[in-house]
């Protein structure tokens, strides 16, 4: 029944790990061909893989794990998906209903534990309701602001039989979030947009989640109005990085021109972003002179952190469609003269060239490694995942994304260990694509067991590890804020990544010389199979630009100029 329900929901891949309490479902999985099951090596990996699958396809990712430890191991992935609004359906086994509450073997209060980290969850006590609940779960996961859901299925409920309810017959009840935006508010926004002198679009993951149509409409709007656009970490790719009006990412490690534009704008149009603390910095000095419009499908996002002058609740694609219609019907007006001046001012900021770096000396700079990766993979059908830390920010800065759903990173929760399993999920959905996980050595080790999965299912994922033998971002904060006391932020006893790759049956490549870098990257790209690329980089490189905590957008540290001599010279850096 479970397998039938999944098939009717269009599921073709399930990521999972068997155990006692899900054996009846695994028995069903064994006796069919429609759904492929990917055996992961740890349940956390299953959820992240499902997230990678979901983010790169727009379809919900599905996970099947057992009770107790199976469920608790999935908690990090669920929380990650909740914070980044990723549709995931997790099916967990549970001890039989008559044993619930008896501290049975591998029993855990799964719905209790996962209540705060799912959008909704269900404990199914009656087989007759099982199929309807699974269909409802898919509806809840994907409707409105997407998110993870969990269905906990006791073993006796799995064994019993009942009449199957097809998805068409399931009442999805009252859960029907509003998708159309209020026309009056949209008209108000159009009026503001027509006269704004220094407008900026600030877009987020909501544009990606809304689907490809939203990105198309956004591009049309930006290109027709000539208004500059920046995006959060989660929204990269909605507007192409090569686009004329692209400012680059904003926020704590965002680009100078993007943050300055946010600070000095007079109209901020937030499209599917949530004023996260990594974006806003110091709130009382956040974009002080601007009128703020906020389009979001989740009413609780509006006025949560920043007061919106023009709040619009609705799905991005629907709202943008209406917005364009209203704007066109009113004569496609913008304050072109002022916007031209505004763009000229932004061009001045661009000249600061905040991402510039100098690749000199015998060590590879991480920025250089990513710039070369970008240059050599640009033309490919490419998907990028990342772990969490400095490498993640550098990847966001130095890699360009032309399309949505090509960039998978753990933004809200910041989960180290996300990227590798996510790359497996992405590769499952796009078998012929080039899938690269940009990683730090410390993050990567957190879920390295998934190497077995990549090998078993012949998934040629490329693990591009920027190895600085440090928890780079932690080290950077310790340098800036904790008097250079580097408490436990270095990686000792690291494995030999080349030998590790070989031990799993994959290819290992090590590169430490800038002169060898291009050849090594090409070797990685051209190898037909999983690769661990151990790129030994400068150990004390800091990630800039950076807005230090408690500072507004116009107080950025640009780094390079002031730190070029200090960082890396033994006298200044106490290790």
Partner 1 sequence: MSALNIKKGSNKHSAYNLRPNFSDIEESHTLAVIVDNEAGVLARVIGLFSGRGYNIDSLTVAEIDHEGHTSRITIVTTGTPQVIEQIKAQLGRIVPVHRVRDLTVEGRAVERELALLKVNGEGEKRVEALRLADIFRANVVDSTLDSFTFEITGTSEKIGAFADLMRPLGLSDLARTGIAALPRGA
Instruction: Give contact residues for partner 1 (rule: CB under 8 A).
Output: 111-112, 115-116, 119-120, 123, 140, 174-175, 252, 277-278, 280-284, 298-300, 302-305, 307, 479-484, 548-550, 557, 559, 562-563, 565-567, 572
Q: Which is nearer to partner 1, 299 or 495 (CB)?
A: 299
Tell me the Cα Rg of the chain: 24
Q: Report how far apart, in Å, the C-alpha atoms of 503 and of each of 18, 89, 317, 496, 499 are.
A: 25, 33, 48, 10, 6
User: Catalytic site residue 408?
Assistant: no
Q: How many residues does the chain have?
A: 575
Annotated active-site residue in 1, 9, 15, 43: 43
Nearer to partner 1, 215 or 489 (CB): 489
Q: Distance (Å, rounded) from C-alpha 356 to C-alpha 348?
A: 15
Q: Which is nearer to partner 1, 341 or 564 (CB)?
A: 564
Please confirm, yes or no, whether 158 is among the known catalytic residues: no
Q: Minimal distance in Å, beta carbon 567 to partner 1?
A: 7
Nearest distance, CB of residue 116 and partner 1, angstroms = 5
- Residue 170 CB partners (closer than 8 Å, separation 6+): 132, 135, 136, 139
C-alpha 557/C-alpha 552 separation (Å) is 11
Residue 551 Cβ vs partner 1, minimum distance, rounded to whole Å: 8
Nearest residue (CB) to partner 1, 402 versus 565: 565
- Output the smallest distance, CB 137 to partner 1, in A: 10
- Is 364 in a helix, a strand, or coil? strand
- Compute the least distance from the CB of residue 394 to partner 1, in Å: 18
Q: How far apart are CA 419 and CA 42, in angstroms?
A: 14
Both structure tokens of 437: 């996980």
Question: Is there a catalytic annotation at residue 473?
Answer: yes
Q: Which residues contact 354 (CB under 8 A, 6 or more apart)?
A: 255, 256, 257, 544, 545, 556, 558
Q: How far apart are CA 482 and CA 41, in angstroms?
A: 37
Report the residue number, 141 or 238, with the smaller CB distance to partner 1: 141
Q: Which of 564, 512, 505 is nearest to 536 (CA)?
A: 512
Residue among 215 and 280 whose Cβ is closer to partner 1: 280
Nearer to partner 1, 105 or 175 (CB): 175
Least CB distance from residue 224 to partner 1, whole Å?
33
User: Minimal CA–CA distance to 221: which of 185, 180, 190, 197?
Assistant: 190
Whether the ω angle into residue 466 lies within 30 degrees of 0, i.e. cis, is: no
Q: Are 497 and 467 in contact (CB under 8 A)?
A: yes
Least Cβ distance, residue 432 to partner 1 (angstroms): 38
DSSP-derived letter for residue 164 is P
CA-closest candidate to residue 373, choices 386, 361, 354, 388: 386
Measured CA distances, 426 to 74, 206, 431, 525 (Å): 18, 20, 8, 16
As measured in angstroms, the least distance from the Cβ of 239 to partner 1 is 27
The answer to whether 462 and 531 are in contact (CB under 8 A) is yes
Q: Which pairs from 355-363 meet CB under 8 Å and 24+ separation? A: 355/255, 355/397, 355/398, 356/560, 357/560, 358/560, 358/564, 359/514, 362/513, 362/514, 363/512, 363/514, 363/536, 363/537, 363/538
CB of 81 to partner 1, least distance (A): 16
43 in catalytic set: yes
In the block, tokens 């991480």 appear at 366
Of 59, 119, 155, 365, which residue is the catalytic one? 155
Q: Among all chains, which residue has been given the structure tokens 């799912």?
A: 118
Distance CA 393, CA 411 (A): 10
Contact 567, 534 (CB under 8 A): no
Q: How far is the CB of 207 from partner 1 (least distance, A)?
A: 20
Nearer to partner 1, 211 or 559 (CB): 559
* CA–CA dist 400, 187 (Å, integer): 33
- Residue with Cβ nearer partner 1 (102 or 329): 102
Residues 459 and 139: their CA atoms lie apart, in Å, by: 30
In the bound state with partner 1, the residue whose beta carbon lies nearer, of 143 and 241, is 143
* Residues taking part in catalysis: 43, 105-106, 155, 473
């Amino acid at each position: 029944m479970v397998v039938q329900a999944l098939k009717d929901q269009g599921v073709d891949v399930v990521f999972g790990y068997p155990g006692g309490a899900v054996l009846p479902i695994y028995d069903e999985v064994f006796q069919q061909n429609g759904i492929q099951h990917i055996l992961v090596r740890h349940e956390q990996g299953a959820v992240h893989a499902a997230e990678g699958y979901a983010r790169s396809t727009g379809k919900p990712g599905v996970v099947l794990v057992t009770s107790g430890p199976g469920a608790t191991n999935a908690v990090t992935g669920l929380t990650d998906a909740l914070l980044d609004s990723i549709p995931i359906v997790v099916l967990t086994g549970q001890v039989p209903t008559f044993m619930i509450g008896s501290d049975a073997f591998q029993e855990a209060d799964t719905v209790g534990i996962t209540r705060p980290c799912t959008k909704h969850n269900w404990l199914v006590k009656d087989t007759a309701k099982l199929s309807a609940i699974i269909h409802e779960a898919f509806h809840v996961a994907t409707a409105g602001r997407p998110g993870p859901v969990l269905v906990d299925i006791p073993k006796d409920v799995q064994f019993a039989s009942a009449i199957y309810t097809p998805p068409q017959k399931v009442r999805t009840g009252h859960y029907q979030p509003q998708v159309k935006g209020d026309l009056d508010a949209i008209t108000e926004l159009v009026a503001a947009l027509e006269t704004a002198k220094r407008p900026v679009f600030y877009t987020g993951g909501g544009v990606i989640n809304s689907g490809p149509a939203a990105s198309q409409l956004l591009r049309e709007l930006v290109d027709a109005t000539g208004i500059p656009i920046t995006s959060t970490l989660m929204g990269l790719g909605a507007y192409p990085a090569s686009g004329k009006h692209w400012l680059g990412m904003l926020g704590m490690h965002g680009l100078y021109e993007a943050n300055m534009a946010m600070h000095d704008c007079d109209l901020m149009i937030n499209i599917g972003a949530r004023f996260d603390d990594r974006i806003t910095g110091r709130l009382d000095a956040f974009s002080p002179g601007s009128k703020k419009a906020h389009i979001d499908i989740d009413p609780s996002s509006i006025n949560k952190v920043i007061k919106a002058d023009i709040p619009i609740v609705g799905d991005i694609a629907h709202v943008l469609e209406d917005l364009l219609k209203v704007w066109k019907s009113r004569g496609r007006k913008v304050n072109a003269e002022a916007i031209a001046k505004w763009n000229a001012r932004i061009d001045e900021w661009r000249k600061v060239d905040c991402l510039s770096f100098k690749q000199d000396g015998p060590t590879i700079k991480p920025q250089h490694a990513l710039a070369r990766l970008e240059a050599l993979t640009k033309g490919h059908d490419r998907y990028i995942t990342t772990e969490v830390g400095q490498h993640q920010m550098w990847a966001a800065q130095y890699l360009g994304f032309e399309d949505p759903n090509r960039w998978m990173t753990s933004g809200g929760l910041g989960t180290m260990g996300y990227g590798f399993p996510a790359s497996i999920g992405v590769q499952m959905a796009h078998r012929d694509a080039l899938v690269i996980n940009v990683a730090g050595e410390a993050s990567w080790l957190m879920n390295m067991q998934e190497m077995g999965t990549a090998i078993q299912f012949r998934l040629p994922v490329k693990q591009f590890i920027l190895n600085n033998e440090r928890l780079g971002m932690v080290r950077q904060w310790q340098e800036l804020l904790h008097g250079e006391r580097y408490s436990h932020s270095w990686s000792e006893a690291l494995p030999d990544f080349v030998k590790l790759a070989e031990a799993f049956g994959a290819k290992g490549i090590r590169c430490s010389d800038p002169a060898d870098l291009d050849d090594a990257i090409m070797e990685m790209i051209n190898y037909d199979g999983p690769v661990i690329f151990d790129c030994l980089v400068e150990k004390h490189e800091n990630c800039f630009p950076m807005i230090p905590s408690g500072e507004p957008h116009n107080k950025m540290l640009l780094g390079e100029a002031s730190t070029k001599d200090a960082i890396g010279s033994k006298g200044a850096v106490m290790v």
